[in-house]
Structure 1
Amino acid sequence: MDINEMKKTKIAIIDATIEEFNNKGMKFTMDELAKRLHMSKKTIYKIVDDKNELVIDAINYCFDLVKKEEARIINDPDLDIVEKLKRTVICIPDRFTNLDWMKVSEAVAAYPRIYEQFKLRIDNDWEPTFKLIDEGVKQGKLRPVNKELFKIMVEAGFEGVLKIRNEGNTEISYQESLEEMISIVMVGIEIK
């Protein structure tokens, strides 16, 4: 298998992993994954060592797609700075809007390696968001804020939304919950 074929196969495996995960959470088996992919487990294990590594690869894949979508939003000339900030903070690519976030939350809580990777990706790469805040302040559309505190509040908001959804205390979608959360946060920094 050449490098390009291996990359394509790995992406197919990750996509199938996301589908299996969305259906069963961490209870999906490698046999079920192989069946979905119409390939042998042996082929899968040539590309990944174990299921945890595969889920971590899927997390990284998802976050990489989020970063691409954030870049698209930031470079959109039709959006003002406030809208760019709102959209980048709650950015979820279309293909992940139906992801079962309760299962994500359960996996993150139950598997330390998955938690560490998830937390690492959430904690890192806030510079584009911080630059949007700086630009918003410069344009007079946002008040100066402590960016680290903003980050902590948004991260806590994400965790709170997941907790509310896990407890079944909401009738709205995850995306709608995120939009409401960022609206509340933005009220505190937007200059009207």
Structure 2
Amino acid sequence: MKKQLQETVLELIVQKGLKFTIDDIAAKQGISKRTVYEHFDSKQHLIETIVDDAIEEVKQREQEIFHKKELSYKQKLTAVLSIVPSGLSFGDTVLLEQMKRFAPNEWIKIDELIQNGWQTVQKVIERGIKNGEFRPLHVPSVIQLLRGVSMAIFDPDYHTHNVNSLEKNVATMVDVIMHGLINEEE
């Protein structure tokens, strides 16, 4: 039942942002509010659980990619940098802004991941340098560059002026990081 409630909340977030209510959840599930409260203490608890699950998904997917022996380090780096949580549409401009304003503790968790969740990326880059796939660059500087780009892409203020989805913005970021700006065909 908990997973069904979380899925319903995700649907409501897509429709209403964070302005959904416990009544909305109960009505959509065809259950009483009391049943919702048997599984989650509050709307905040629901949001917290969804954000925690999304962060855990990112970390798990990073590890799965990192341990795939059939992938080159270039493929691993591309895949890890391209991860966007499947459950939550963090790319929705309204949701990003609402998370920062109405769920500040959850926004802090997301921001913490963006600021400090670079261990797997660092290992991929270091091993890619060691085996010759990547140029020998100062890895802490590369991580700082990636951190800055990610912070900018996840910034709700950026999304108020940009019509692209988060997925499209992340894909552009990864493309520029992996291939640069120079058109090699010329």
TM-score range, shorter chain: 0.7 to 0.9
Task: Give, as a single letter, the amino acid of the residue that structure 1 aligns with 2:64.
Answer: R
Higher mean C-alpha displacement, 108-117 vs 157-166:
157-166
| TM alignment of 1:84-95, pairs within 5 A | 84-93=76-85, 95=86
| TM alignment of 1:151-170, pairs within 5 A | 151-162=143-154, 163-167=157-161, 169-170=162-163
Which residue is 1:116 aligned to?
Answer: 108
Which residue is 1:6 aligned to?
Answer: none
Indicate if the aligned counterparts of 1:66 and 1:91 stay in contact, CA closer than 8 A. Answer: yes
User: Which whole-Å CA distance do the structure 2 matches of 1:80 and 1:97 have between them?
Assistant: 29
What TM-score, normalized to structure 1?
0.78
Say whether 1:40 aligns with 2:32.
yes
| TM alignment of 1:4-43, pairs within 5 A | 9-43=1-35
Note the C-alpha offset of 1:138: 0.5
Indicate if the aligned counterparts of 1:56 and 1:117 stay in contact, CA closer than 8 A. Answer: no
Higher mean C-alpha displacement, 114-123 vs 140-149:
140-149
SS at the partner of 1:181? helix
Note the C-alpha offset of 1:187: 4.6
Note the C-alpha offset of 1:181: 0.8
Which residue is 2:183 aligned to?
Answer: none
What TM-score, normalized to structure 2?
0.80
Which residue is 2:49 aligned to?
Answer: 57
Which residue is 1:104 aligned to?
Answer: 95
Task: Give, as a single letter, the amino acid of the residue that structure 1 aligns with 2:99.
Answer: V
User: For structure 2, which runs of at least 5 residues remain unmatched after alignment?
Assistant: 181-186
Note the C-alpha offset of 1:72: 2.6
Identical-residue share of aligned pairs (%): 23
Task: Give, as a single letter, the amino acid of the residue that structure 2 aligns with 1:116.
Answer: I
User: Which whole-Å CA distance do the structure 1 matches of 2:135 and 2:74 have between them?
Assistant: 11
Q: How well do the aligned residues superpose, as a CA RMSD in angstroms? A: 2.5
Say whether 1:76 aligns with 2:100.
no
Note the C-alpha offset of 1:15: 1.7
User: Which whole-Å CA distance do the structure 2 matches of 1:27 and 1:161 have between them?
Assistant: 23
Relative distance call for 1:15 and 1:150 in structure 2 (3 A) is farther
Task: Give, as a single letter, the amino acid of the residue that structure 1 aligns with 2:92.
Answer: W
Indicate if the aligned counterparts of 1:137 and 1:143 stay in contact, CA closer than 8 A. Answer: yes
Q: Deviation string for 1:89-141 (max 9, x for gaps)?
A: 22125x44866521331123203222222223333442222111111110112
Residue of structure 2 aligned with 1:128, choices 120, 131, 135: 120
Higher mean C-alpha displacement, 26-35 vs 117-126:
117-126
Indicate if the aligned counterparts of 2:22 and 2:43 stay in contact, CA closer than 8 A. Answer: yes
